Structure 1
Amino acid sequence: MYRAFREVGRAVRNIVLLRYLSDPVLREQISRATNKAEAYNGFTEWLHFGSHGYLRSCDPELQEKAIKFLDAVASSVIFSTTIDMTEQLRQMATEGWTILGENLTVISPHRCDDVLRFGDYDTTTLHIPPGTYDAAFAPHQP
């Protein structure tokens, strides 16, 4: 049974490799997905400034906690950056700038240049809910 499944796995792997080599659209999709994952991994590595990103403990439970905490921090930073980018795009739209969908596809919320990893953060306004979404100020897609 093991040998049969091994051979089926090899056949499936070869079929996928042949499809990958012969289909440029598939290669582009895989490259795009890989680049997104690598951008996120590089961003979380940049955020994980303690111990140069290495997990210090060999305890699986502590490692899981550290990874979950890093994911929560990364998600929070990405969310905050996305809100800032959206506000800037809305401001540009109200000023008369034309915002095209293809231009939005090249910007990323995995930005490091505006994030203060060691800065002072004001938490006194966290209880204030954000304003309601107004579709009139949303960037339009062509």
Structure 2
Amino acid sequence: MILRFSQRIGSGNRGVIADNDPIEQEKTMKFNALLTKAVIFHNALDSAEIFRQLLEERWEIAPEDLAHISPYLTGHINRFGEYSTHELGIRPEAYDPKLDVDFTPLREQDLTTAGLGQAA
């Protein structure tokens, strides 16, 4: 999944690096990896903000539901479109990483599935 995501996000000819220079190939690969990670991070921040808004509106969010959310979203990406740069000078507010959801049931389920939650 990450490979297809990276190919969808990255620049270049669908992952084919046409340059024969190893230094340029490495630059392209590192750029694509950085770009992919930045999009994943941005998607995670956007998702967390949506979850916070839903929690403020008194929606109940189960940890099992969050376990099915993927940061590998590409539908909102316009690779070859026009982009606004007027917001580059705006300093963002500090990000609060806390999401008020109890993940204990998922952790316990993972331990039980792995055989670690059972007494010997």
Q: Tell whether the structures are fold-level matches, with TM greater than 0.5.
A: yes
In 1, Cα distance between the equivalents of 2:45 and 2:80? 21
Q: CA deviation at 1:132?
A: 4.2
Alignment-derived partner of residue 3 in structure 1: none
Alignment-derived partner of residue 93 in structure 2: 130
Alignment-derived partner of residue 102 in structure 2: 141
Which residues of structure 2 form unaligned runs of 5+? 104-120
Asked if 1:104 corresponds to 2:66, the answer is yes
Q: Could you say what the CA RMSD is over the residues aligned between the two structures, in angstroms? A: 1.9
The aligned runs of 1:1-142 (5 Å cut-off) are 39-127=1-89, 128-133=91-96, 135=98, 138-142=99-103
Higher helix residue share: 1
**Which deviations, in whole Å up to 9, do the C-alpha atoms of 1:4-42 show, x marking residues without a partner?**
xxxxxxxxxxxxxxxxxxxxxxxxxxxxxxxxxxx2111
TM-score (norm 2): 0.73
Distance 1:134 1:46, change over 3 A: closer
In 1, Cα distance between the equivalents of 2:14 and 2:80? 15
**Which deviations, in whole Å up to 9, do the C-alpha atoms of 1:34-93 show, x marking residues without a partner?**
xxxxx2111011113532220001221111100000011111111111111111111111
Which residues of structure 1 form unaligned runs of 5+? 1-38
In 2, Cα distance between the equivalents of 1:126 and 1:82? 20
One-letter amino acid matched to 1:140: V
Aligned residues: 102
Q: CA deviation at 1:99?
A: 1.2
Distance 1:50 1:41, change over 3 A: same
Q: Which moved more, 1:45-54 or 1:100-109?
A: 45-54
One-letter amino acid matched to 1:43: F
Taking every aligned residue pair, what percent have the same amino acid on both sides? 31
